[in-house]
Structure 1
Amino acid sequence: MIEWGSITLTPLSSTVFLLAFSYLIYNYIIYPAFLSPLSKLPAAHFTSSLTPLWITYKRRTGYESRTIAAAHKAHGPIIQLAPNEVSVASLDGLRKIYTGGFERTAWFLAFANYNGTPNLVTLFDGASHARRKRMVSNIYSKSYLLRSEDFRAMAAVLLFRRFLPAIALTNLAGEGCDVYEMGCALGAEFISSYEMGTANGIDIVRTGRETARKEYLETAKRKFRQLRGKEAATKDLEDMCLDMCRRTEAFLALEGRVVVKDDQIETFPVVYAQLRETIPKIEGTQSEKETELLVASELLDNIEAGREGIGIALTYAMWHLSRTPLVQKALRKELLGLGKTFKYPLPNETAFSTENVRALDGLPRLDAVIHETLRLNAPAPGPQRRMVPEGGTTVDGYFIPAGITISASPYSMHRNEDIYPEADKWKPKRWMPKNDSDEKDVEREGGNDMRRWFWVFGSGGRMCVGNNFTLLVLKLVLAAIYTNYETTIIDDEGIEQLDDMMATPKGDKLILGFTFLSE
C-alpha cells in the first residue's frame, strides 16, 4: 500500500492512479509538446502547444490581431496558437485554406438570426452556400452596379437628400459631426435601401432622425458585441427587419423600377426581389413563412455587415485624410476633375449617370486612399477560422492534421514588411500607378504584388459577396464629402483601434469639423 498524506492507496488503486496520471502527462504534455505534428511548428507563445489560455486571454482583452501579427513577424508565416489552432500569413496558406474547401467552424454560428435560420455566413455546407450565393452574386457585381438605375437613384437620394443636408446643418451650426456614428448609420442605410428600396430601408441619417439613429445603433451594438440586453436587442433588430420585409412585399405590387411619389424617389428593392423569387424555386421552401424568414435572415446579416464594415472604413478614411491635409487637397483636386458631378446640391437625380459613376470608380487617388485605409484598418481584422478536413493538409511545408482550426488574418497579411514597406504607416501613394500610363496592378520593388496580399474581403468561394458594393459606396461617400468639404479633427481621443472582432474605434466616436468649400 502507498500512503499519500491522509489517503491510503491499495496496489490496485495505485496502479490505476499511476496509469491515469501517466495518461494525462502523455496526452496533455508529452504528445502535444514533442510528438504531435503541430509540435514541429513555431509556437506563438511558449505555452501554445499545451493550453489555449494565452490566445484566449489576448482575444478577451482585444489584442488578438496585433498579437498574432507580432508572432508571425517573429516566427514566420505559420505558427501554432493553441494545441488545436494554427495561424498562417502566406499566399500558400490562403490558397490551401480558402480555395481548398475547408469548412467554417462553429464560431460563425454567433451570427445566426431568427433562431438559426441560415444565411450566407452560417451556411456551413459548401454546396448550399454556393447555391445561395449564386442567387445574388450578379446583382452585387461591379458591372451590374455601374449600370443599375436603381443603384444610382438610391445613391443620389441617400447622399444628396439625406446625408449632405445633415452635414450642412452641422456646418452651419458650427458643430462637429461624429463620423463613426454617421458612417455606421449611412452604411446601414445604403445596404438596406439597395435591398429593400429607399422607401422601405432604414431611415436614420437625415435631419430629424437623430434620436432614431442613436437608438438603432445602440441596439445593434448590444447585439453585435454581446453586451447586457443582447437578447432583447436581437429581437428588436429581427422584428425591424421583418417589418421592412413586409412593407417591401407590399411595395412590389407597384410597377416600374424607380417610383416618384410626392417628389420623393422610391427605388426598387433589388436584393429582396431577387431572393424572394429565387429562394422558393431553388431551395424548395414549403411555406411563405419559411421563405420570409430565410429572406429576412439574409438581409439582416447584410445590414449588420454594411453598418460595421462601411462605418468603420469611412471613419478611418476620414481620420487619415483629416490628419494629412496635403493628401486631402490632392484628393479634392482629383474629384473636381469630374466637374460638378458631386457638387452639393445636386440639380436632380438624373445627373447621377452611369458615365459619372464609372469615371468615379476609375479615379486612382480615391482608389488608393480606400485600399490603404482598408489595408491598415480592415473592419474585420481577425482570424477567418476554418477546419482542416479529413486527411489533413500541408501548408508552408508543415503537415496539419484533420480537425485543427486554421486561419489567416487580414491584420497579419497586411503588415508584411516585405510586401508593404513601413506597413504600420498610412501611405496611399503605395497604391498609385507608377506613372499615368501604367494601369497594371501596383507592385512593390522586387516584384511582389500588393493586391495579391490584400485580403480584406477574404477569398475563394466564401469571399464577401458585397465587396464591389462596399468599395463603390465608399467611393461615392468620400466623393460627396471631399468635393464639398474640408474636414478637420475636433476630437479623436477614441480613435485608437481596438482590434478584437471588428476594428471599432476604442471610444466609439470620431468628431470632425466640416468646412464648406464653395469653389
Structure 2
Amino acid sequence: MGFLFVHILLPFFQDPYSLRRLSIPGPTIAALTDLWLGYHSAKGHRSEVVHALHEKYGRIVRIAPNHVSIASPDALQTIYAHGNGALKSDFYDAFVSIQRGLFNTRDRIEHTRKRKLVSHIFSQKSVLEFEPYIRVYIKELSEQWSRLYKLALEGQQGNEGQGQGGGWYGRNGRLWMDALPWCNYLAFDIIGDLAFGAPFGMIKACKDTAQIPASESSAELADSKGEVAIKEIPAVKILNGRGEYSMSMGVLPPAYRPFAKKIPWFAAGAADVKALAGIAIIAVRKRLAAQEAGTLSVRKTDLLEKLQRGKDEDGKPMGREELTAEALTLLIAGSDTTSNSTCAILYYLARTPAAQAKLHAELDKAIPDVEALPMTVDDVKADRLPYLDACIEEGLRIHSTSALGLPRLVPKGGMTVEGVMFPEGTVLSVPSYTIHRDTEVWGDDTEEFRPERWLGLDGDKRELVNKTFNPFSVGPRACVGRNLAYLELQLIVGSLVRMWDFVLEEGLDQELHTSEGFLRKPLGCRVGIRRRD
C-alpha cells in the first residue's frame, strides 16, 4: 500500500510536470503509472494503441505519467529541431550493451563527438562505393529463388530457407514461399559485408545464423591474440528479442528496471542483448585479426575500416571497445530496418497489382535486358525511376519501421508545442505511425498503398509532405545511415520486382501482421513469385 501511495498516487496529485493542470487527455491508468505503456510495449502493438488514442482524444495525448505524445507535423519540427536543447530520455539507457554508441548516448557533447566520427562513412560519395557489394547479394538471393522456382515447377517442395511461415512449394506456375526470411538473410549478408568485410552467409546457407563467443569468458578474450571458442545462434531471432526487451524495459522508470530483470520474460531479453553484442565482438575480432595478418583481401574497404580512420577533434581514433559498440549499432540499424522495409514494400506491391504493373512497366523500359540485373547506381539516379521511388516512399510511410514516438526531454526554460507550454523535464514524442496517417496531409485513404500520392507534388503540398514524412527521424539525432538505406532499397526492390512478379497467397489472411519491439516488424509475407523475362 505504501508503494502504491509513494510511487503512483502521490506523484499524480503533486503533478510535478503540470500535465493534470494542463488537462492533457489520455487513459487514467496511463497518467498514474508507466506500467500501462510498458504493458502495451511488451504486447508488440504500442504504435497502434497510441494511434487509437490520438483518434479518440486528438493531437495531444498523455501516454505515461510524464510522457505526452503529440501527433503533429509542426511538433516534429519543434521537438527534434537543431539547437532546441532537448535531450534523449532515459528510455535509451535500456539499449546500452557494450558501451554507449551513437544511437543511445544521451550527452550532447559526446553525441557530437561520435557523430563526427561516424557520419562521414555515410556520405553520398562513401555510400556509392558499396554499390557493387550490395549487388552481389541481390544476385545471390535471386539465384536461390531461381533454384527453388525450378524445383517448385518440377513438383518438389520443402522448408529450405523458410521461417515459421511454412515451407515452399509450386502451384499455378509460381513458387509459393514466405519472403520474410529471405529479406532478413539478404539484409544481414549485405551489412555483414559492408560493415565487416564478409557476409554472415545466410543466403547461401538458407538459414538464420551468426557466430558469438561460446561463453562470457570467451567474450572477455575478444581483445586477446588467442583463439576464442564460438557457437552459432539465430541472429534474426536474437535481434527481435533484443528489440522487444529494450523497448519494454525502456518505458519503465529506472527504479523498476532491476526488479523487472528478475521476471523470466525480461531475463530472456537480457540474454538476447548479450548474444547480440557477441555477434559484433566476434565479427570485429575476426575482421581486425585478418587485417593485422594481412589476409583481408576480399574487398577494398568497409564501414569498419572507415570507422578506424575517423578521428575526433583531438585527432584521436576510436578505441577497440568503442569501435565494437559502433559496429553493433551498424549491425542492428543496417539489418533490421532494411529487411523490414523490403518485406513490407514487396507485400504492398503484391497486394496492389495495379501499382506493381506500373512499376513493372517503368522498370522494363529502363532495363529491357533482365540479364543486366541487379540494378546499378546509374539505373536509380534521380528522376530516372520516379515510380520506384514513389513505391519506396509509400512503403516507408504506411509501414514505418521506426513507428513509435522517439522520446525527448524538454530542456530548461520549457518548450511550447501546439500552443501548450510544457515544463522542463517533461517527455515529449511524435509518433511516426500516426503522422503518416494524418488525413490532412495524405488524404482519406491513408491505409491504402497508393504511390501516386508522391507524384506531381509541388509548392505548399510538397513542403507539407516533406515536413510530415519521418522514416529516418529529423534533426541532429536523425539516422546517419539514410543514404545507404535508401540506396539499398532502390537496388533491392527495383531488381527483385524487375526479375519477379509477386502475388499474395489466395485463401489466407492477407493482412501484413506485425509485432513492434523498437522497430515494427512483419511476422511473415506469404507470396507467389513467377520469373519475368
Superposition map of 1:218-233 within 5 A: 218-226=237-245, 229-233=268-272
**CA offsets 1:76-121 (integer angstroms, 9 cap, x no match):** 322222331111122332222211231111211222232xx12111
Q: Is 1:510 paired with 2:525? A: yes
The normalised TM-score by structure 2 is 0.78
Please tell me the residue identity of whatever aligns with 2:94. Answer: A
- 1:42 maps to which residue? 24
2:37 and 2:319 mapped to 1: Cα distance?
A: 40
* 8 Å CA contact 1:316, 1:373 repeated in 2: yes
Report how far residue 414 of structure 1 moved: 0.8
2:446 alignment counterpart: 423
Is the contact between residue 49 and residue 80 of structure 1 (CA under 8 Å) also seen in structure 2? yes
In structure 2, how many angstroms separate the alpha carbons of the residues matched to 1:295 and 1:205? 27
Give the Å deviation of 1:364. 1.1
Q: Which amino acid aligns with 2:308?
A: R
Alignment of 1:178-327 (within 5 A): 178-197=178-197, 200-206=198-204, 208-210=205-207, 212=209, 215-226=234-245, 229-252=268-291, 266-279=298-311, 282=314, 284=316, 291-327=319-355
**Which residue of the partner structure matches residue 82 of structure 1?**
64
User: What is the deviation of 1:30?
Assistant: 4.6
Shift of 1:192: 2.5
Q: Bigger radius of gyration, 1 or 2?
A: 1
Q: Does the 8 A contact of 2:244 with 2:516 survive in 1?
A: no
* 8 Å contact kept, 2:41–2:516: no
Is the 2:277–2:328 contact (alpha carbons within 8 Å) kept by the matching residues of 1?
Answer: yes
SS in 1 for 2:425: coil
* Superposed CA RMSD: 3.3
Aligned length: 462
Instruction: Map 1:380-419 onto structure 2 (within 5 A).
Output: 380-419=402-441
Q: Distance in 2 between matches of 1:416 and 1:153?
A: 39
Deviations 1:365-403 (A, max 9, x none): 111111111111101211201111222211111111111
Does residue 476 of structure 1 match 2:491? yes
Displaced runs of 4 or more, over 6 A: 21-26, 253-256
Q: Is the 8 A contact 2:96 2:104 kept in 1?
A: yes
CA contact (8 A) 2:76 2:468 kept: no
Residue 155 of structure 1 aligns to a residue whose secondary structure is: helix
Residues 8 and 32, structure 2, Cα contact 8 Å, conserved in 1: no
Look up the match of 1:263: none
Q: Would the alpha carbon gap of residues 80 and 211 (structure 1) be closer, same or farther in structure 2, given more than 3 Å must change?
A: closer
Write the mapping of 1:3-82 to structure 2, written as runs, cut at 5 A. 27-28=10-11, 30-32=13-15, 36=18, 38-82=20-64
- After superposition, the Cα gap between the structure-2 partners of 1:252 and 1:46, relative to the gap in structure 1 and judged at 3 Å, is same
Unaligned runs of 5+ in 2: 153-168, 170-175, 211-232, 246-264
What is the rounded CA distance, in whole Å, between the counterparts of 2:235 and 2:30 in structure 1? 40
Deviations 1:33-82 (A, max 9, x none): 9x935532431224444444543443333332122223223333222223
Match for residue 105 of structure 1 among 70, 89, 94: 89
Equivalent residue number for residue 215 of structure 2: none
Aligned: 1:498 with 2:515: yes
Residue 394 of structure 2 aligns to a residue in which SS?
helix
Match of 1:432 in 2: 455
TM-aligned CA distance change 1:42 to 1:477, over 3 Å: same
Query: C-alpha displacement at 1:323, in angstroms?
Result: 1.1
Report deviation, 1:223: 3.1
Match of 2:134 in 1: 155
1:248 and 1:50 map into 2 onto residues whose CA distance is: 49
Q: Percent identity?
A: 23
User: Displacement, 1:476?
Assistant: 0.6
Q: Please state how far the C-alpha of 1:295 moved relative to its aligned partner.
A: 1.1
Closer, same or farther: CA 85–277 of 1 in aligned 2, 3 Å: same
Distance 1:24 1:295, change over 3 A: closer
Q: CA deviation at 1:22?
A: 12
SS in 2 for 1:68: helix
1:358 maps to what in 2? 381
- Correspondence 1:464 to 2:479: yes
Mapping of residues 448-459 of structure 1, within 5 Å: 449-459=464-474
2-side partners of 1:316 and 1:488: how far apart? 13
Deviation per residue, 1:395-441 (Å, 9 max, x gap): 1111111111111111121111100112222211101126xxxxx57
AA partner of residue 245 (structure 1)? V
Unmatched 5+ residue regions in structure 1? 1-16, 260-265, 435-439
TM-score after normalising by structure 1: 0.80
Q: Secondary structure at the match of 1:123?
A: coil
Displacement after TM superposition at 1:215 (Å): 2.5
**Contact 2:375–2:491 under 8 Å retained in 1:** no
Aligned pair 1:94/2:88, yes or no? no
